[in-house]
Amino acid sequence: MALLLPIVVTLTAAVINVFLLGAERTSSAAELGGLSSFLTMFFLWLLIPGFAGTWEEPGFRGYALPRLQVGRSALLASLILGVLWALWHLPFVATGEDIWIDAFLFPIIWSPVYAWLFNNASGSVLIVMLFHNMNNAFSSGFVGQMFSGAASVNQAWLRLGLWCVVTIVLVVLYGPEHLSRKHRKQEEPEQPEASTASPRVV
């Protein structure tokens, strides 16, 4: 799911964009270097911190999400984290590196899907890193480069709408409390309180 779901959503959006909205591609997969170019980008972005957003995950999902899920449903915790994640991306909008649909709205809609993956994978940060990287590499770095102008904006809205559908389906099927039917939500374990009693002198 971590590797295939971003591909399915992105290709579905692209098909709707081209065949229903009449978008014209400015480049083809072959012109972008094909499979070899995509795989190179995928592994570079995955393995080298700073190349893409993949290395946000040890902080957002590995550290923050388990703590936010304490005393909250997985859905509510993920939406809170989604807002924080969106604010994290605002500098990309301010500098013109990204459009606000992708930088601000997308993380909020997308965050419950991360929580679903994270909780069903027993808190695996690697799984969510693979998911994040596949979306960035395939959607933004590869298919996204095939569109420009209004077609690119339409592609962003279509992806947002499709991920919204995915989120709703997951919440209905798996429930908002844990976003999982087999596992409890991942929570930060309680730390035992340190004793304040004075040591007894023998």
Query: Rounded to an integer, what distance in angstroms lies between the CA atom of residue 14 and that of residue 7?
Result: 10
pLDDT > 70? residue 156: yes
C-alpha 3 chain-centroid distance? 12
For residue 64, is it within any domain? yes
Of residues 81 and 193, the one with the higher pLDDT is 81
For residue 38, is it within any domain? no
For residue 30, is it within any domain? no
For residue 41, is it within any domain? no
The answer to whether the beta carbons of residues 115 and 178 sit under 8 Å apart is no
Task: Tokens for 36, please give them.
Answer: 């070899």
For residue 100, is it within any domain? yes
How many structural domains are present in the chain?
A: 1
pTM above 0.85, yes or no: yes
Note the pLDDT tens digit of each residue in 107-154: 999 999 999 999 999 999 999 999 999 999 999 889 988 999 999 999
DSSP 30: T
C-alpha 49 chain-centroid distance? 16
Of residues 95 and 117, the one with the higher pLDDT is 117
For residue 179, is it within any domain? no
The answer to whether the beta carbons of residues 167 and 86 sit under 8 Å apart is no
For residue 191, is it within any domain? no
pLDDT > 80? residue 29: no
pLDDT (0 to 100) of residue 42: 94
What domain range includes position 158? 4-18+49-174
